[in-house]
Amino acid sequence: MSADEPPQGANDAAAGRSAAAAVANATASGGGRKTLLVKGRRDGRDIVRVTPQSAGWSYVGFGAHRLAPAEAMRVALPDAEACIVILSGKVTIEAGGHTWRDIGERGSVFDDRAPYAVYLPPGEAAQIVAKTAAEIGVGSAPASAGPPARLIEPASMKRFKRGEGSNTRYVCDILPQTEPASHLLLVEVVTPAGHSSSYPPHKHDTDNLPAESSLEETYYHRLKPAQGFAFQRVYTDDRSIDEALAVEDHDVVLVPRGYHPVVVPHGYDSYYLNVMAGPKREWHFKNDPAHEWMLKR
C-alpha cells in the first residue's frame, strides 16, 4: 500500500494561482467555513495526509504514520520525490538496492538529537518495517528526476539555535538546499514552552530571488505533553488570508502563502516538521515590516 498518492499538476506558471486556490479548497471545518488546519487522527496507522490535490496547490505533499512493532508499509510515488523521516522509533528501510537496518535513535521527536531520514527519487519505492513502535513522516513534491536513493544520517544534519530570549527555538536542517534534491526542503524545529517561533512573522510566497522565494509549506505539529496546544496565524499583507488556528498534537497547518508565526503557551513544548517546495529550490524569506523592528533592538 502506498503511503501517499503521487502529486499531480506541478508547473511554475500555476504556482501563484494554486497558492490562492488553497484557501478555497482547504479542508472544511464545519458551518461552510474553510480552514488551513488539517486535523490529525488520534489512532490508527495513518495520522494525517495532505496531497497537492487536497491542499489545492502544486507542490507539497505530506503524510504521517504510526507503525506497530513488525508492521510494514510501502512508500511509492511514481511522479514525485520523497523524504522519509523517522520521527521516533526504529525501522528497517529497503530502497534503491539498499537495506538500512534498525535506523532511528529517538524515543520522541523531543529527544535532543537529529533524526534519520531517507531520500527517494521519483519512481523509487521503499519498504519500511518497524522494529519498535515508530512514527514516520513522508514529505513529497512532484519531480521528473532526482538524485539516487540515500540514507541521510543524523551526523550530517546541521543543528542550531535561532532567536533570543522568549523567541529562542532549536532547528535541525534535515534536507536543506545545500543537499541534493529536486524541489523538496525539510526542517524540524523545537520551541520551548512560552516561546514564539517562525517569528518575527515571515513569508516566502513571491518569486523575487534573491530577496524572496516562492515555497508552499506544511507544518506538522507535536506537543509535549500531548494534551497541549499551540497557536499559529497565517495572514497576508492584504488580509485576503487571515486565519488564527489552535493546533493540537498531530495537526497539520497549510501555508499556501503569507506570514505564519507560531506561539506556544506556558507548560507545553512544541515540535513541528516543515515540508517546503516550489518552482525553485531556494529558501529566502521576507519578514513582516510591521514586526521587523524587534530584530534591531
Query: Mind listing the pLDDT tens digit for each residue in 104-142?
Result: 999 999 999 999 999 999 999 999 999 999 999 999 999
Strand pairing class (169-175; 158-162): antiparallel
User: Phi/psi of residue 25, each to 5°?
Assistant: -105, 0
The type of residue at 85 is V
Cβ–Cβ under 8 Å, residues 153 and 85: no
Kindly report which listed range (1-5, 33-37, 164-168, 287-291) carries the lowest average pLDDT score: 1-5
- Whether omega for the bond prior to residue 225 falls within 30 degrees of 0, making it cis, is yes
Query: Mind listing the pLDDT tens digit for each residue in 192-211?
Result: 999 999 999 999 999 999 99
Spacing of C-alpha 265 from chain mean position: 21
Cell of 265: 503557551
* pLDDT for residue 3 is more than 70: no
The full set of domain ranges for the chain reads 12-296
What distance in Å separates the CA atoms of residue 237 and residue 219, rounded to the nearest whole number? 21
Q: What is the 3-state secondary structure (H, E, C) of 252-286?
A: EEEECCCECCEECCCCCEEEEEEEEECCCCCCCCE
Q: Residue 296 — pLDDT band, cuts 50, 70, 90?
A: confident
Cell of 183: 524541489
Query: Mind listing the pLDDT tens digit for each residue in 44-87?
Result: 999 999 999 999 999 999 999 999 999 999 999 999 999 999 99
Q: Residue 5 — pLDDT band, cuts 50, 70, 90?
A: very low
CA dihedral for 225, 226, 230, 236, sign (positive or negative): positive
Picking from 205, 196, 195, 211, the residue whose alpha carbon sits closest to that of residue 256 is 205
Torsion (CA) 24, 28, 30, 31 in degrees, nearest 10:
20
What's the fold here for domain 12-296?
A: Jelly Rolls (2.60.120)
Q: What is the 3-state secondary structure (H, E, C) of 59-92?
A: CCEEEEEEECCCCEEEECCCCEEEEEEEEECCEE
Picking from 15, 178, 9, the residue whose alpha carbon sits closest to that of residue 80 is 9
Task: Report the percentage of the chain scoring pLDDT > 90.
Answer: 87
Work out the number of other CB atoms within 10 angstroms of the CB of residue 56: 20
Helix then strand then coil, % of the chain, to nearest 5: 10, 45, 45
What distance in Å separates the CA atoms of residue 80 and residue 82, rounded to the nearest whole number? 6
Phi-psi region of 155 (alpha: psi -120 to 50; beta: other; left: phi over 0): alpha
The type of residue at 117 is A
Work out the number of other CB atoms within 10 angstroms of the CB of residue 276: 24
- Judged by DSSP in three states, 132 sits in coil
Strand-pairing partners, residue 115, are none
Cβ–Cβ under 8 Å, residues 170 and 190: yes
